[in-house]
Structure formats: structure tokens, C-alpha cells
Amino acid sequence: MKNNWRLLVFGVIHSAILLLLFNCGLYHNSALTGDVKLFFEYSSKIFQGLLPYRNFTVEYPPLALVFFTIPRLAASTIDGYCYAFAVEILVFDLVALYLLDKLSRIINVKPTITLIVYTLLILVIGPLLIYRFDLIPAVMVLASLYFLSQKKYGLAWGMLAVGVITKIYPVVIAPLFLIYELSQRGHKETLKEIAYCALLTEIIIAPFFLLSPSGFVKAFMLQMQRGLQLESTYSSFILLLQNLGLTNVYIKTTITPLATSNIISGAASVLVKVAPVIMAAALLSLYWLFYRRYWDTFKTSFSAGQEDAAAIIYYAFLAVLIFVLTTVVFSPQYLIWFLPIAPMITRQKKWVIWPALVITALLTYYEFPLHYSLLQAGDSKVVYVLAARNILLIALVLWLIEWGTIKRKTSYNKQ
């Protein structure tokens, strides 16, 4: 009963935040609505009988279109659609509250504290939450982590696959799942689960692919061919060098179909090519650390336990954060990807990590949407804010990895 009351109270609070506070104009900004207007355009074309990938270009994975279309069933105008879309995001937000409550008790963290921190992070992210669909795959990741903590491997892999088909980034968590399940079930059962996961993915993708194979491939090529986006980690350092008078860059805005601003310079051209290598090296290093630190522990743990779940959540957070920092695009909504996981990774060091994430969100809101036009113009003050945001996140990753090393060494010494 206590759990039900807790979820009910937070559900009411979140409903007020997403549907009232984020729409009251307190810190609403028209620059935030560009994406949701595009979602409305896509869904309207589908309602007109046009086929995605065949009749119009789409740069999103197939299941994203499903979530763009659902609000269109309830609204035929852009204003109505924005509100209906916010309601859809709220539904996933309420699911996140439920999953956070469950997972918190599994890893021995007070659910009330977890939900308070999650609520605070949502408040700091602001209206961006209801004008982007990124919370949807983030909740799918959260659900996959919950199923894995219950050793429901098929559901965990299935939910992760659905997340990947909605927004590609959850794929970076898959190797963590693979390492954990291999330690628990061996190769035969693990390969079977992966085969089922691949089959599910193919079944969902096939109808969209058959509409137009070339259009479907083009959607993914658009993402892979993107330049060095203005807010990326790499761009922030190049802009810092420009502020110091050490280089000159050109900022170009293109429509893909959303407007995106990229850094144009010799260094940017090199970094676009090198970035995938940096990303792969960083993620592989993280997976290796996860394997080295937890393989023996996992092999001797045959029931769902606090340590298993806490370790996987911890490294899932790091994997997503490393991916965000090493990719060539760092859009503001990418913060939402690790938003639901963040409150659960900080049992002893919470008073360092939580404020760091709050500051990160505040710095992000400062540069977008408040001063994005100044950033596009290369304003030095906004460049410093952007660089501070990215440096803070890099420091957080390094600190969490070091803390993980110390924590594991301490654990082994106690044994």
C-alpha cells in the first residue's frame, strides 16, 4: 500500500510538471518545438496515405514513427498534437517511475530518494523532455535493465531490441547484457536468446524495409554522414582553440530535414573520421573493465541479487555517457538518455554525481535554447559554457571509472 501511495503522489507531481508547468511559459521557449513539429509533419503525411522511406525521407528508426503517429490519432492541429505528444511522454514517464521504484528496492536504494532525484533532474531538463521522444527509448532501456535484474533474459533482450529500433543508442548496452548472461547461462542459451532478439528485430524492421530498401538505408546513412555537430565534445574543444586565437572555424547550418549546425575546419574533417575509432576504443575499454571486474562474481551468483543489478546499471550509465561524449553529435536531448538511470548509480557518492548532472543540465539549457544563436555565431561566453558542460561530463566518466576500480578492490580485500 505504501508503494502504491508513493507512486500515486509522484505520478500526480509528474503529471503537473509535464502537462502544466512545462506548458505555462515559465521557461518555455519556441526554439524547443522544432522536432515535435517535424513529428507532426511525418505523422500527417502518413495519415494522408504516404509511406515513410518510400514517399518521404525519414531520418529516424522505424518504431520512432509509431510513437510519432499515436498522438496524431488524437489531434489534427499542431497545438493539439504538441499536447497529445506531451501526454504520450507522460505515460512513459509514469512507467519510468514504476520501474525506478522496483529497481531501487532491488539494489537496496530508498525508492523515495530515487524518485525525488529523478523528479529534480526532469525539472532541470525542462520542457525539452516533452518536445523530444528520447524518454521513450530511455524507458525501454530501464525496462530491459529491470528484466535482466530478474533474470528474464528473453524479455530483457526483446525490450533492448525494441529500444534500438526506436533510437539506435541502446545498442551500446548490449555487450554488458551479453557478458552477464554468458557468465550465468553459458554460450548455448545466450546465443539462443540473441537469435530470438535478432528475429524480433527483423520482424519489426521488415515491413519498413520492404516499403523502400533504398529509402530505409538512406535514413541510416543520413545519420552516419553527419558532420561534426556544434555541441559535440570535439567541437567544443575546437571552439575553445578559436577563442584562444589558435585556429579559425566556420559554422555551417544545414537542413537534414531538421536544422543542424556543424563545425567546418581542417581539424573537424579529421575528427569526423577519427571519432568512430575513439568511440569504439572507449566503449571496448569499458566492456573489458566490466568483464574483468565482475566476471568471477557473476559466475558464482546464480540468483538475482543487489550486486549484479547495481553493477549492470552502473556500467549501462557509463556506456551511454561515453557514447554521447565520443560521438560526432551531442544534441541537448541526449541528456535524457541517461536521465532515468542516473538516480540509481550513486549509493555512496550521490552528493557528487547528482549535483554534477544538475549542473550539466543547467549548462545545457543555457546554451540551448536560451543562447543557441549566440553559440552559432561563435560567442566566446557561450563557448565556455558548452566546453564546461562537456569537460564536466568527461571528468564524471573518469571519476566513476576510478571509483569503480577502488570499489572492486575494496570488495576483494574484504573477501
Domain spans of the chain?
2-23+30-414
- Provide the pLDDT for residue 193: 85
State the Cα–Cα distance between residues 160 and 167, nearest whole angstrom.
10
Phi and psi (nearest 5°) for 187? -70, -40
State the Cα–Cα distance between residues 260 and 190, nearest whole angstrom.
40
Chain-centroid distance, C-alpha 130? 14
Q: DSSP labels for 233-253?
A: HHHHHHHHHHHTTS---EEEE
Cα distances from 76 to residues 48, 69, 239, 327, in angstroms, run 12, 11, 42, 36
Closest Cα partner for 227 from 195, 267, 190, 193?
A: 267
- Provide the pLDDT for residue 412: 39
Note the pTM of the prediction, 2 decimals: 0.93
User: HSE of 116 in the Cβ direction (CA atoms, 13 Å)?
Assistant: 7
Cis peptide preceding 276, ω within 30 of 0 = no
In contact, 80 and 309? CB cutoff 8 Å: no
Report the 10 Å Cβ neighbour count for 89.
26
- Provide the pLDDT for residue 184: 85
Strands of the sheet containing 228-229, edge to edge, are: 228-229, 259-264, 250-255
Helix axes 135-149, 174-211, angle to 10 degrees: 130
Q: What is the mean pLDDT of each run of 10 residues along the chain (415 residues)?
A: 84 96 78 90 95 90 95 95 97 98 92 94 94 97 95 93 95 95 86 87 90 84 82 96 88 77 92 96 96 79 68 95 96 94 74 87 92 92 96 94 59 43
DSSP character at residue 59: -
Closest Cα partner for 108 from 412, 346, 298?
A: 346
Paired with 264 in beta bridges are 250
Task: Report which residue type is found at 57.
Answer: T
Closest Cα partner for 401 from 314, 272, 335, 323?
A: 314
State the Cα–Cα distance between residues 1 and 148, nearest whole angstrom.
26
- Provide the pLDDT for residue 28: 65
